[in-house]
Amino acid sequence: MLADRVLAGDPRAMARAISLIEDEDPKSADLVRAIFPRTGRAYLIGVTGPPGAGKSTLVDRLVAEIRRRPVLDTREASARGSSEREGRGPQRGSRDGVPEASEASGGGAPRALEDAPSASGVEEAQLRRPVLDTREGHSPSASGVEEARLRRPVLDTREGHSPSASGVGVGPHADKKMSVGVIAVDPTSPFSGGAVLGDRLRMQAHAADEDVFIRSMATRGHLGGLARATGDAALVLDAAGKDLIIIETVGVGQDEVDIIRTADVSVVTLVPGTGDEVQALKAGIMEIADIFVVNKADREGADRLVSAVEANLALQAYGADEWRPPIVKTIATTGEGVPELVDAIWRFRERSKNNEATRRRTRSEYRLRELVSQRFMDHLERDVLAADELSGLVDRIAAREIDPYTAAATLLRRAGVNAVDVHDKASGRNGH
């Protein structure tokens, strides 16, 4: 059975399942029903931004960085955040005043526990030392410290992990690395209906990694930056056991913001040279960001863009317990700034634990409304209306013989719904 193979993590079954969903095959609904109880464990990272912002290259580097780090519990990252604040100061890409993980958010170990000497202190210190790459062909040098920084651990917040006092080299996932799924959405031509699906070309470095699954899909005319099948495709990867799912949208404008209804964290990628400061202040995509990334930061104008985004953030007052989106500067082609971006994502995940259920409930409501609307129209066209009845109403609207509201009321009556009652109830809910 296809669902069983998906739950077992079979890549071919995952690919087949997503194809069924994309094609809106009737079997896809039964598939989702079968796997849905086993979903809800993956963390969804949305990466969006305008065309040419370097999203695909950034996602490629994100996957590499995440796969480079071992899984670790949340205490280690909180301790690292504390040392950065107390000793080294803000990390690259963070801003003063940006909330970080703390004991109050459930991610910190007491200082007494961190500082207390113990018999295992030497062993912990050894485990915390930088790891240099001694593989064949690699010459350890001064860059080893930078490599060690890139190998910093990933937080493990999954159910079933038992944190310990040391927080290092313990727990059932200590030697395991996180598995990653990627859904890259490409635009569909409004004329030919085709799509290049070229985002995967920038991610060929992961082709041999069995714990990375990359799938491109076309929007097929769906607006909002995503394909209609994106949400269900993410369910397939979730059921297959992927720990993280990265969703890359098409190049978006100012109001294609569907990603906030799909992902647990929204990363908005900006690039210098695509507009003036006023452009950065416009509503829409700028308001959905949990983390801002200024990519191609080696270009002229990067600092001005950071200042413009910072000015935008300054217009809103953030409370002491509110998350203030950090601004991370990256150069995706070299990987510079990507470790800091992963750290920012994990700080957000830790701080937003209490709101994660609310966000997922909102996502479920949006998906339900979307499905009901889609299935109602399918029911009308397939079971209620005559062959050319809908197109006839459209022709009459185009000829100004009937207005859209009257046409909609006509369709509702044909489906057995009293359109007047529906309008009155909707007006009552809106306070009219």
Q: Is the pLDDT score of 278 beyond 80?
A: no
Last residue of a domain, one of 318, 352, 386: 352
Task: State mean pLDDT over 16-26.
Answer: 90
Q: Is residue 313 part of a domain?
A: yes
Say if residue 302 is in the same domain as residue 370. Answer: no
DSSP character at residue 70: B
Burial of 134 by CB count in 10 Å (0-12 exposed, 13-18 middle, 19+ buried)? exposed
Taking the C-alpha atoms of residue 248 and residue 410, their distance in angstroms, rounded to an integer, is 40
Q: Are residues 269 and 380 in the same domain?
A: no
Question: What CATH code is carried by the domain that includes residue 124?
Answer: 3.40.50.300
What pTM, to 2 d.p., does this model score? 0.70
DSSP 36: G
- Sign for the pseudo-dihedral over CA of 12, 14, 18, 21: positive
Q: Rounded to 5 degrees, what are φ and ψ at 47?
A: -120, 115
CB 80 within 8 A of CB 114: no
The count of structural domains within the chain is: 2
Q: What is the pLDDT of residue 19?
A: 92
84 shares its domain with 188: yes
For 248-272, how does the pLDDT look when each residue is reduced to its tens digit (9 = 90+)? 887 665 555 677 788 899 999 998 8
Residue 8 within a domain: no
Note whether 171 and 162 are within 8 A (CB): yes
Amino acid letter for position 134: T
Task: Please name which of 264, 225, 269, 243 lies closest in space to residue 181, comparing C-alpha atoms.
Answer: 243
pLDDT value, residue 253: 57
Residue 23 to residues 29, 100, 201, 233, 316, Cα–Cα distance (Å): 11, 43, 23, 12, 43
**50 pLDDT above the threshold of 90:** no
Average pLDDT over residues 74-82: 45
Residue with tokens 């003063």: 96
- Are residues 341 and 372 located together in one domain of the fold? no
- 347 and 382 in a single domain? The answer is no
Query: Given a cut of 90, is residue 371 above it in pLDDT?
Result: no
145 and 126 in a common domain? yes
Per-residue pLDDT, averaged over 289-301, amounts to 93
The residue out of 352, 385, 410 marking a domain boundary is: 352
Domain limits for position 87: 40-352
Regarding whether 202 and 120 lie in a shared domain, the answer is yes
Does 28 map to a domain? no
13 burial via Cβ count (<10 Å: 0-12, 13-18, 19+):
buried
Do 333 and 375 belong to one domain? no
